[in-house]
Amino acid sequence: MQIAIFLRFIFSWVDPTGRTGIGAFLNGVTEPILAPIRRVLPRTGMLDLSPFIVILVLGMLLRIVT
């Protein structure tokens, strides 16, 4: 999941609307996880911090579980 979020973050610079097949796939896979975080975080203009927060939380959860 972390890889998909990272790829979406990078791919958003190339195809921000998700019009291509890869962009649509990445948006569909990661949006259910990123949307709730995005609603809680304060607005930071053009910078979306939700992927960073999700990757940090997933990393911490993986460390706790394993």
Confidence class for position 39, pLDDT limits 50, 70, 90: very high
Q: Name the DSSP letter for residue 42.
A: P
27: which residues sit within 8 A by CB, 6+ positions away? 8, 18
DSSP run (H or E) holding 60: helix 50-65
Token pair in block for residue 64: 């706790």
When pLDDT is averaged across residues 4-32 and rounded to a whole number, the result is 90
pLDDT exceeds 90 at position 66? no
Predicted confidence at residue 43, as pLDDT, reads: 83
Of 13-17, 34-38, 47-51, the poorest mean pLDDT is in 13-17
Distance of CA 7 to the CA centre of its chain: 8
Cβ atoms of 4 and 26 within 8 Å: the answer is yes
pLDDT above 70 coverage of the chain, percent: 100
Predicted confidence at residue 37, as pLDDT, reads: 94
